[in-house]
A and B are shown apart, each in its own frame.
Chain A
Amino acid sequence: MTLAVQTYGPEARARRGFFTDTSVCIGCKACEVACKEWNHVPDDNQGFSGHSYDNSVDLGADRWRHVAFVEQPKEQLGPIPSAPGNGLSTYQDGDSLRWLMASDVCKHCTHAGCLDACPTGALFRTEYDTVVVQSDICNGCGYCVPACPFGVIDKRESDGKAWKCTLCYDRLKDDKEPACAQACPTNSIQYGELGDLRERAEKRLAQLQGAGAEKAQLYLADDEDGVGGAGAFFLLLDDPEVYGLPPDPIDPTYDVGTTWGATAAAALALGAGVVAAALLGGRGR
């Protein structure tokens, strides 16, 4: 298992990340608030979305943690696992609903589309193998925005630059855990060395599957997926798209060879076309 991207040589630190165990998320949004406070993230939507308890709606330049609220009526569900003591009380009889809550965040991909796309070098990989934007370099070209297969990074209107989660790079430098993880009251957000987190996640998945949560799944916990594994990975109780996550995300850079090949071939074809147009008619015509 190659956890490290290994661009730092001797300065490299063990890869850090988040394991977000959504089965114990209670939707308190302390992570959203702590993140805003610590990182001075500007306020945003103050309105009412109508999507359950979710009024921040998605990740973006001004939302680096976002708690999703999914309401699933009983008739949509199969057998509901609720063995006591396993932390799986997602179904509430009174409401006839199953509640799924999940705190989403930047995935800090091993193969990060945003970083690959960034033409200025503003996006870089830290010694902890996290992906961070340097706001003193970003010129707001916006190319990282559609490059991200998860729709995480976005351009902030007020200053024109791209912003996203830094995994609290400043706190990591001081050996402190990121603000969201520290604020999380249920340990749904766990921070640590990626190897440790993956071990913990495997145990939790086995426990939940054993308790009958058939759709419980680890998301982005392996190195072979389309982003080469992620620094922030998740335990979900339903399919990724239920939470607004892509089920098979791929860093567009995997195809860059094909794209450049087609671009070069098209350039040559254009050259041949201009030569033909210039020569076919005879001199000066």
Chain B
Amino acid sequence: MTTSYYGQPVIKEPTWTPEIPFYLFSGGLAGASAPLAYLAERRGNDVLARRAWAVAFAGVSVSPALLISDLGVPSRFLNMLRLFKVTSPMSVGSWILAASGGAMTLAAADALLGLFPGLGAVAKPVSAALGLPLSTYTGALLAQTSVPVWHEARRELPFVFGASAAASAGAAATVLSPVRAAGPARRLAIGGAVAQMAGLFAMEKRLGDLGEPYELPPAKTFKRAAQVLTLAGTATIAAGAGRSRAAAVAGGAALLGGVLAERWSVFKAGFQSARDPKYTVAPQRERIASGRSRGASRKVPA
């Protein structure tokens, strides 16, 4: 039982609106679709490549709209690019997203409409490369806060988000592509889903008691939904998506739902973790008791 001031939170809950977990999803979807599209094209699989470029473009177009709508003063969205600041994942991420948006739009224009082929030839590998940090920086975005359940998972969150980005990109391309062309997408979906489950397991181990918000509603509800949908989707893709388009669509859709629910569970757990002062105070008291504190309080005069 930790002491608190009338049970009031010590830190503030994030002010982020529901747009943010949807952005975590759309950003990751775009980020992992771009390298999938690029490599598929390089391997001569244009059928898959065109669809993955379309997904990347869709994801990277929706993302800024979601982020701008979350701002308190949306008309000032360009202030995000006033500076570049490595201590702020929000700043670094804004630049990554802005660059990805430009590159993926040009890449999709070339791949889908045949526009600007010269620029497209440059934009495609650039998109593929930028997609990787676009998929994982959102882990840093959450981790670099004082929210205990996010900050203490700083080593795992980027892996979890990168893996779920892979799973969602693979799932989307599996849904959209003919079975014959979707081999790489299926492998990415299954590999990403397995890696996501492994990452979540590692995160839970790291958090220990601090991970309790994941076992409380509403995060728990999203977590259970994520587990069920991810397992069902992955199993369906593994078992049937190589033969049946229906299985590919069903499995891919379930896995997409699983990834989205996973983003929501992480988002919601952070709010719960900020709201209850025990998650802030207890680990800090533990640091003090074990001599690992940085020492904010001093009873002995200097």
Q: Is A280 an interface residue (CB 8 A)?
A: yes
Q: How many angstroms between the C-alpha atoms of A274 and B190 in the bound complex?
A: 11
A 241-285 binary contact with B (CB < 8 Å = 1; else 0) = 111111111101101101110111111111101111111110111
Known: A253-B87, A273-B191. A263 touches B140 (CB 8 A): yes
Contact of B35 among A240, A247, A255, A274 (CB under 8 A): A274
Residues of A within 8 A of B184 (CB): 277-278, 281, 285
Residues of B within 8 A of A249 (CB): 146, 284, 296
Residues of A within 8 A of B133 (CB): 263-264, 267
Q: How large is the interface on A (under 10, 10 to 19, 20 to 34, 35 or more residues)?
A: 35 or more
Q: How many angstroms between the C-alpha atoms of A218 and B295 in the bound complex?
A: 10
Contact of A146 among B14, B156, B191, B287 (CB under 8 A): B14
Contact of A274 among B77, B166, B299 (CB under 8 A): B166
When C-beta atoms are compared, the residue in chain B nearest to A255 turns out to be B154
User: Number of contacting residues on B, CB 8 A?
Assistant: 96
B 101-133 binary contact with A (CB < 8 Å = 1; else 0) = 000000000000000000000000000000011
Known: A118-B88, A241-B2, A266-B159. A236 touches B297 (CB 8 A): yes
Contact of A139 among B77, B140, B298, B299 (CB under 8 A): B77
Residues of A within 8 A of B94 (CB): 119
Residues of A within 8 A of B192 (CB): 273
Report yes or no: B162 in contact with A256, Cβ–Cβ below 8 A: no
Residues of A within 8 A of B293 (CB): 247-248
Main secondary structure of the interface of B (DSSP, over half): helix
Contact segment of A6-14, A24-32, A209-217: A209-217
Q: Is A149 an interface residue (CB 8 A)?
A: yes
Number of A-B contacts (CB under 8 A): 313
Would you give the shortest CB distance from B241 to chain A, in whole angstroms? Answer: 13
Q: How many angstroms between the C-alpha atoms of A110 and B157 in the bound complex?
A: 28
Q: Is A141 an interface residue (CB 8 A)?
A: yes
Contact of B145 among A146, A245, A278 (CB under 8 A): A146
Would you give the shortest CB distance from A211 to chain B, in whole angstroms? Answer: 13
Would you give the shortest CB distance from A75 to chain B, in whole angstroms? Answer: 16
Contact of B298 among A58, A117, A152, A218 (CB under 8 A): A218
B 288-302 binary contact with A (CB < 8 Å = 1; else 0) = 100001111111111
Residues of B within 8 A of A113 (CB): 146
Would you give the shortest CB distance from A243 to chain B, in whole angstroms? Answer: 6
Known: A116-B87, A139-B72, A246-B10. A270 touches B5 (CB 8 A): no
When C-beta atoms are compared, the residue in chain B nearest to A204 turns out to be B301
Report yes or no: A248 in contact with B288, Cβ–Cβ below 8 A: yes
When C-beta atoms are compared, the residue in chain A nearest to B137 turns out to be A263
Would you give the shortest CB distance from B43 to chain A, in whole angstroms? Answer: 6
Would you give the shortest CB distance from A51 to chain B, in whole angstroms? Answer: 4
B 41-71 binary contact with A (CB < 8 Å = 1; else 0) = 0111100000000000000000000000011
Report yes or no: B132 in contact with A137, Cβ–Cβ below 8 A: no
Contact of A225 among B77, B158, B295 (CB under 8 A): B295
Contacts A222-B295, A278-B184 known; 11 new A-B pairs at CB < 8 A? A119-B85, A148-B146, A160-B71, A240-B296, A241-B2, A247-B288, A248-B285, A248-B288, A268-B132, A269-B159, A270-B163
A contacts, CB < 8 Å to B: 49, 51, 54, 57-58, 60, 68, 70, 113, 116-122, 137-143, 145-156, 159-162, 202-203, 205-206, 209, 214-222, 224-227, 236, 239-250, 252-253, 255-256, 258-260, 262-271, 273-281, 283-285
**Can you offer 5 A-B residue contacts whose CB atoms are under 8 A?**
A119-B85, A137-B79, A139-B73, A143-B90, A281-B183
